[in-house]
Amino acid sequence: MKYLTGIIFFLSLILFFSVYVSPEYFPYVGLLPFFIPIIWLVNLFLLFILTLSWKRSALFPLAALLIGYKFALITVQFNPANESAEGLKVLTYNAHLFDYKRKTEGKFDPNVYSWLQEHPADIKVFQEFYQDYTTASRNSVKLLGKDMGFETSYQVIEGNPQKRSYGLAIFSRYPIINEGKVFDKNGTNGAIFADILVNQDTIRIYNAHLESMKINSDGLENLEGVKENYRQTLGKLHRGSLERSKQLKVLVEHMQNSSHPLILMGDLNEIPYSYTYFKLGEFWQNAFETAGRGFGFTYNKILFFLRIDHIFSSKELKAIQFKTHREVDYSDHYPVSATFDLSGLGE
């Protein structure tokens, strides 16, 4: 038992420190963090068993849990709901081209626009944003922007900008005084920014959609599906983490050069136990950690335990409320919102 405990302790250290290694420099390191929750629970179980047995080897799982305490903090939070919080309200949503219901129920559901129009956020950002100037019911820029009195920054990734296209969008109740692209890629991935004048302060808003995991979640609904797809899934996870690490490098450099306090929102396609999450956490604070409750899972498919949509901000902007809207099922992601206290600006 002592040797097994030592081996588990050694494996724990490897997994815990894997989040600080870029997949660019070490092949397949991006897959290791997926095992962190498992090894953390194994150590918790070992600590319980060995403590009851009065074994000195209980010090190994105890040390592992203390070293990896950060992973517990980023997994679940117990902050107050604070629903009535006042401040700058933001929302991020991977909209799945506003057409998820057609795949699941066979028809387009316009209620997705109604919910988004009614949400009180001052700034709303969208990934997989679909725009159709030829169809009134799918004219997303008009429905979510002009009709609501919001200014719009829409960056096309693919399609005809005058007719039908999709990309990334930022909507703001406040004036947009500057905008641009950080990077884009064929498909739906990319990152954009907009400088927004809030009262007398300028805040830079980033909207990012990093490389997809490309997991066929429908093929993992049963044991047979897992057997057939696990190798292909591992390969996709590896290639995805490698591409995201390259995109992250570009994004972080752009963010670090910002002369304004910032908020990064979007579908980062990374779980909290990842190089991307920890790299961003070196410089900016995560809204879920500051103001979230529960587990905050954001994926609306069979892999429901994933939290891959995130909000980060500069230290001057403190999140005082955070919510994952699991009641909203118009996409394969749930919307995520937060409220920021602006009193730290200008200090």
pLDDT tens string 66-111: 999 999 999 999 999 888 899 999 999 999 999 887 777 777 888 9
Residue 291: pLDDT band with limits 50, 70, 90: very high
Residue 220 confidence (pLDDT) above 60: no
pLDDT at 104: 72
Residue 203: pLDDT band with limits 50, 70, 90: very high
Residue 32 burial (CB < 10 Å; 0-12/13-18/19+)? buried
Judging by DSSP bridges, how do beta strands 336-341 and 88-94 pair with one another?
antiparallel
Record the pTM.
Answer: 0.92
Report which of residues 337 and 84 the model is more confident about. Answer: 337
Residue 60 confidence (pLDDT) above 60: yes
pLDDT at 279: 97
pLDDT tens string 172-181: 999 999 999 9
pLDDT at 278: 97
pLDDT at 232: 66
Residue 221: pLDDT band with limits 50, 70, 90: low
Residue 226 confidence (pLDDT) above 60: no
Judging by DSSP bridges, how do beta strands 309-313 and 285-286 pair with one another?
antiparallel
Residue 31 confidence (pLDDT) above 70: yes
Instruction: Give the strand order in the sheet containing 88-94.
Output: 151-159, 164-172, 123-132, 88-94, 336-341, 318-324
Report which of residues 345 and 346 the model is more confident about. Answer: 345
Residue 302: pLDDT band with limits 50, 70, 90: confident
Residues forming beta bridges with residue 159, ordered by sequence position: 165
CA distance 33 to 195: 34
pLDDT at 303: 82
Name the E strands within the chain.
77-78, 88-94, 123-132, 151-159, 164-172, 176-184, 190-198, 201-209, 262-267, 285-286, 293-294, 309-313, 318-324, 336-341
Q: Of 188, 185, 186, 187, whose CA–CA distance to 169 is shortest?
A: 188
pLDDT tens string 120-152: 999 999 999 999 999 999 999 999 999 999 999
Determine what percent of the chain is predicted with pLDDT higher than 70. 93
Residue 228: pLDDT band with limits 50, 70, 90: low
Q: What is the mean pLDDT of the chain?
A: 91
pLDDT tens string 256-274: 999 999 999 999 999 999 9
- Supply the DSSP string of 210-221, one letter for each residue: PPP----GGGGS
Residue 62: pLDDT band with limits 50, 70, 90: very high
Other Cβ atoms less than 10 A from the Cβ of 64: the count is 26
Query: Are 285 and 277 spatial neighbours (Cβ–Cβ below 8 Å)?
Result: no
For the segment 23-37, the average pLDDT, to the nearest whole number, is 89
- Residue at token pair 């679909």: 130
All domains of the chain in start order, with CATH: 2-73 (no CATH), 88-341 (3.60.10.10)
CA distance 13 to 95: 38
